[in-house]
Amino acid sequence: MSAAPAPNWNPLHSILESFTVNEKINQLLLSNVPEAAWSAEPPTGTGRTIAEIFAHMHNVRLMWLKAAAKDTDIPEKLDGRTCCPQQAGVALAESAQACSRLIESAVATPGAKVKNFKPDAVHFVAYLISHDSHHRGQISQLARQTGHPLPKKVNFAMWEWGTLAKSI
């Protein structure tokens, strides 16, 4: 009796889907930040507000797009001092799409190189996800510290990669 053939696995699809799930988590978190926490000053008196953290996440993506794909359509920078959650959501979605196009293009080239980033596109995706994850932790902590914790279901949902991937 022979084993059934393994399903085809497409690494490019998996890499892009991972980045898409990462963005879904950003949007989930963003849509659940209590309004009172959005611009609340950090209790230490220093550091970024939640709005500024979301803007920073978007703007770092833009920095990489300018370094690696300056001849493409790059979204506008976001000002964390003045943006609202809806603007942040649109901006993050736009920069995620632009980064996905960059990743897809890089993976299609020999060596999967992303200009000005070493070593390759897979590491670039890992970097982007790590950066976003770090700041999601800051946002969650800052919401709690300012007296506006996120709903528990959101804290758990951010770890449900399999469930989120099914909805893509």
Give the pLDDT band of residue 6 (cuts 50, 70, 90).
Answer: low
- Residue 109, sorted as left (phi over 0), alpha (psi -120 to 50) or beta, turns out to be beta
Tell me the average pLDDT across 46-56: 97
**Quick one: which of 64, 85, 69, 38 has its CA closest to 131?**
64
DSSP alpha helices (H): ranges in 32-160? 35-38, 50-68, 85-107, 121-145, 152-157
pTM score: 0.93
* CATH architecture assigned to 12-35+48-166: Up-down Bundle (1.20)
Each residue's pLDDT tens digit, 127-136: 999 999 999 9
Q: How much is the pLDDT for 52?
A: 98
Kindly report, residue by residue over 89-121, the tens digit of the pLDDT. Answer: 999 999 999 999 999 999 988 999 999 999 999
Residue 155 has pLDDT above 80, yes or no: yes
Domain ranges of the chain: 12-35+48-166
pLDDT at 16 (0 to 100): 94
Percent of all residues in the chain with a pLDDT value above 90, rounded to a whole number? 88
CA–CA distance, 114 with 147 (Å, rounded to integer):
41
**Cα distances (Å, whole numbers) of residue 150 to 51, 74, 92, 139, 142:** 15, 31, 20, 9, 10
Q: Would the pLDDT of 4 be above 80?
A: no
